[in-house]
Amino acid sequence: MANPGSQMRGKVAFIGAADTEVGKLPGRTPMELCAEAALKAIDDAGLKKSDVDGLLSCSSMAQPLMYPAEALAEYLQMFPRYCMAVGAGGGTTFSAIHHAASAIVTGMADVIVVAMADSMRSGLTRDQAMQVQATTGHPEFEQPYGPTVPAYYALIAQAHMAEFGTTSEQLAGIAVACREHACLNPAAQMRDPITIEDVVSSRMIADPLHLLDCSLVSDGGSAVVLCSAERAAELRDDPVYLLGAGEGHTHEHISAAHSLTTSAAKEAGERAYQMAGLGPKDMSFAQLYDCFTPTVLVELEDLGFCAKGEGGAFVDSGALKPGGSLPVNTHGGLLSHSHPGNPGSMFALTESIWQLRNTAGERQVSNAQHGLVHAQGGIMSSHTALVLSRDGG
């Protein structure tokens, strides 16, 4: 059997990246934010709207539309031959990238914009936000018992603690590391330093998760532009190449999960590493989906950065912090940079592009060569991992 990544490895590159402001942005709709990000990314690529023949997006909770990608194209007055919306929760971002890369390799489109935005902070009332939280679970086996999204992730934390002796302080260390990165990022929503004591003494949300173990609620949008590696080399001297992509999908509802302490991030990572011909030790940094601190703990283990059960000790070592052996979420992550819902991981992707371009300023990882970005959707349900590189291989 041929290497499943032989047709994609190094054949696609990122040539444009842009973010909007994040935080509380009243009066700006998700569509406006999405369009702003898309146009900025196209400009960053040195292209015009008319050069783009592919457009991917995702649904917005604050401005739901039946056909969000087509609506965005209409709003921008773009007329792509490839247009699609994806929906895999927070994993939407990178599954969309996987689709876009496949479309370029197979000739469905030449230049593709992936743009996403939402207004979770100012576009939803408190009651609407609680409704979204409450309707996530299985309608028969979970919703009747009243849990919300933090409670589902608290189950994962409790399971890891029971099985491996993980502590609340180790979970808190993840939030502290993300905040240290955010303190170096002028675009981050939260930039005040925090300590482990600040995290464990913050308000309890769902035992053992405290307020500062939980991601932010934000408005914002982000976009990237992809094309073939050959065309990228003509357009700019610092393209960022996609070397590997892998997905893993195990369940939709947490009551059907095979395990609470091992996720399909394992399969997603293995597939991405195999395609890239690289491994965890080759990564200069990792951007890991951090909607809640325990997700990072499980991802660190499942993606091969440490052994199963050793995530807490790995956090204690300081590896995740600026200057550590594996800087994680160098922009601040969902915990400290922003989390506008489904588009949340887009900011990890643009950050990775800037790190590999060596343009990340004060937070730049020294000699960044390869990076792994990972997102998950649902309750540790759908996973996609990407390996990015300065080198097209």
Query: Is the predicted pLDDT of residue 1 greater than 50, yes or no?
Result: no
Q: CB-based contacts of 64: which residues, under 8 Å, 6+ apart?
A: none
What is the pLDDT, as a whole number, of residue 325?
98
Domain span at residue 355 reads 12-123+216-389
E strand segments, 229-305: 240-249, 285-288
- Reported as a pLDDT band with limits 50, 70 and 90, residue 5 is low
387: tokens are: 């390996």
| 40, amino acid identity | K
Output the DSSP codes for 326-352: S-B-TT-HHHHT---SGGGGHHHHHHH
314 falls within a domain: yes
The pair of structure tokens assigned to 112 is: 């593709």
Asked if residue 153 belongs to a domain, the reply is no
Determine, yes or no, domain membership for 60.
Answer: yes
Return d(Cα 384, Cα 377) in angstroms, integer: 9
Give the domain CATH number at 56. 3.40.47.10
Q: Flag whether 154 is in a domain.
A: no
244 part of a folded domain:
yes
Tens digits of per-residue pLDDT, 327-385?
A: 999 999 999 999 998 889 999 999 999 999 999 999 999 999 999 999 998 899 999 99
Residue with tokens 């029971």: 162
- What's the domain count of the chain? 1
CA–CA distance, 153 with 209 (Å, rounded to integer): 8
Question: Residue 39: inside a domain, yes or no?
Answer: yes
**pLDDT tens digits for range 221-271:** 999 999 999 999 999 999 999 999 999 999 989 999 999 999 999 999 999
Task: Indicate whether 142 belongs to any domain.
Answer: no
Evaluate whether residue 23 is within a structural domain.
yes
pLDDT recorded at residue 86: 86
For tokens 């902070």, what's the residue?
Answer: 121
